[in-house]
Amino acid sequence: MKKIKTYVIMVSRTYPTYHPRKKQPTYFIEKIQLSLDLLVEMPGDLLIDLDPKIHTFRDNFQLWKNRIDEVLAGNAVIVLKYHTLGRYVKGNKQIEFARLDKYSGVGIEEVKFEWNNITYPVLTKDYLTNITITQIAENDGLQVHDFMNWFEKGDYNLKETFACIHFTSFRYGEQGKK
C-alpha cells in the first residue's frame, strides 16, 4: 500500500496580535467549512453574515506548488487544522477540520504583491488584471482593510511570490470572478 504524505495548513481562529482586530474571531474555520459544504451548525444568525473562505495565502510559492502537485498526483493530502487554545499555549491541541485530496478541487495560483501607493496583491498572469483587491480579500474571508492589515503589518516579505492555495475548484485564471 502506497504511503500518503500529509501537509498541514494551520488556520487562525483569531486575528493575530499585530492586527488592529487582535484576538477577535476570524470565523475562518466556519468560512472554509462553508466553502467545502462541510458546515453543520453555526450559533444564532451568524451564518447569514458569513461568506465562504475559498483560499489562503502562504509565502514560499515553490514549496506549496510542489506540495499541491503531490496532492494532485494522489501522493499527498492537505490537512486543515486549528489550535484549540491559540498558538504557543501550554496544553494546546491541534484539531483537524478538513482534508483535501486530489478529488477535492484543491489548487494553487501564483500571487505577487505590488506597490502602487498602497500594497495590493495581483495574480501574476496578464489576463487577471480585472481582479480587484476587494474580490481577493472577500474570497480570503476578510474585508479589504483587514486583509491589508494582515499582510502589511505581519512578518511577510511582500516582494516574494505567494501561493494562493484554493480549497475548492475556483480559480481566478479560469473564472475571472467568483
The answer to whether position 126 is within a domain reads yes
Q: State pTM to two decimals.
A: 0.86
Per the structure, how many domains does the chain have? 1
CB 131 within 8 A of CB 124: no
Instruction: Give helix then strand counts, H and E, for the chain.
Output: 5, 7
The answer to whether position 178 is within a domain reads no
Sign of CA dihedral 100, 126, 123, 142: negative
In three-state secondary structure terms, 139 is helix
Q: Could you list the residue range(s) of the whole structural domain that residue 39 is in?
A: 5-172
The answer to whether position 96 is within a domain reads yes
The residue that leads in pLDDT, 42 or 66, is 66
The answer to whether position 56 is within a domain reads yes
The answer to whether position 151 is within a domain reads yes
The answer to whether position 77 is within a domain reads yes
The answer to whether position 69 is within a domain reads yes
What rounded mean pLDDT belongs to the chain? 84
What does the block give as the cell for 174?
Answer: 479560469
The answer to whether position 177 is within a domain reads no
Phi and psi angles of residue 30, each rounded to the nearest 5 degrees, phi first: -65, -40
Sorting pLDDT into bands at 50, 70 and 90, what band is 115? low
Residue 8 corresponds to which amino acid? V
